[in-house]
Structure 1
């Protein structure tokens, strides 16, 4: 089956959305809400939505819980990706990945430069990969970054990525 056929045969995926922030609440979490809205518009289902502090243990525990949950195909994380001392999302995600998709971060920065924030894109950190047969995407926490990553990179390939991850796993 070709890549285009995979994209035409989209299946509903079960997702976990994690917002990493020391300040956001259910009311102020615009980026988490945007991720959910875009996923649902694309026919996917959000099983779990959490806001957690920007702490390595919290992030690691939530990723582990998602990867261990057979009801979760994809974990989408926003926030905690900057270069401040407290920003540890990228390092935490990188440590749990079995396989990294380096093109995600590369393309995200290129698109950020071209379409959104110009040279400030050198500060943007994003990562994607696979852990325990679960796709993981981590984006900056701004709504502009989430919208860009979701619309241009994640949603167009999400079903294809999950298919590739799971295609040779014994059921």
Structure 2
């Protein structure tokens, strides 16, 4: 964690990456690997990377454990955000949040519509928010969605959002 600030931002943040999937393994988790790669390239620290099943109990436990760890500032999930019966990431994450960041999902769907998948964007339930001082982002599991969300939304704002969530502790 870096507490040297400039323009209301931290230099870098410590992240937990969680892939939510019943089928992904360490070998074929391209979306989780892409998240890690983009975060590292931007100078952020990867505290841990996990693959968990698309089950509410597993998702809740992973998010709560991450939020309780003072070394983890951001939790990024991929997968489980669609409309299929097994897609339960958003239903599990939202009740854990103190504050939702609705603009994240709105902009993600808008960008997806314009640049990527057209009207299929309405099925995305990408979301973000803050629990206590931990920022949480949930993206769909496709590499295209991860790249779009990371490059266009998360990486440009990640340090600013974390700073805002923690500034009462920093000042």
TM-score by length of 2: 0.94
Number of the residue aligned with 1:93: 93
Question: What CA deviation, in whole Å up to 9, does each residue of 1:57-84 have, x standing for no partner?
Answer: 0000000010000110000000011101
Q: Which consecutive segments of 4 or more residues in structure 1 shift more than 3 A?
A: none
Q: Provide the residue aligned with 1:139 in structure 2.
A: 139
Alignment partner, residue 26 of structure 2: 26
- Cα distance, 1:125 vs structure 2: 1.1
Quote the residue 1:5 is aligned against. 7
Supply the distance in 2 between the matched residues of 1:102 and 1:154 (Cα, whole angstroms).
13
Q: What is the distance in 2 between the residues matched to 1:77 and 1:101?
A: 15
- How far off its partner does 1:170 sit? 6.9
SS at match of 1:27: coil
**Structure 1: gaps spanning 5 or more residues:** none
Aligned partners of 1:24 and 1:51 also within 8 Å: yes
Write out per-residue CA displacement over residues 103-132 of structure 1, whole angstroms, 9 at most, x where no aligned residue. 000000000000000011011110100012
The aligned length equals: 166
How big is the shift at 1:12? Answer: 1.7
| CA shift for structure 1 position 169 | 2.7
Residue aligning to 2:51: 51
Determine the structure 1 residue equivalent to 2:155: 155
Counterpart in 2 of 1:114?
114
The aligned residue for residue 70 of structure 1 is 70
Query: What's the C-alpha RMSD, in Å, of the aligned pairs?
Result: 1.3
Point out where structure 2 has 5 or more consecutive residues left out of the alignment: 1-5
Determine helix, strand or coil for the equivalent of 1:169: helix
State TM-score, norm by structure 1.
0.94
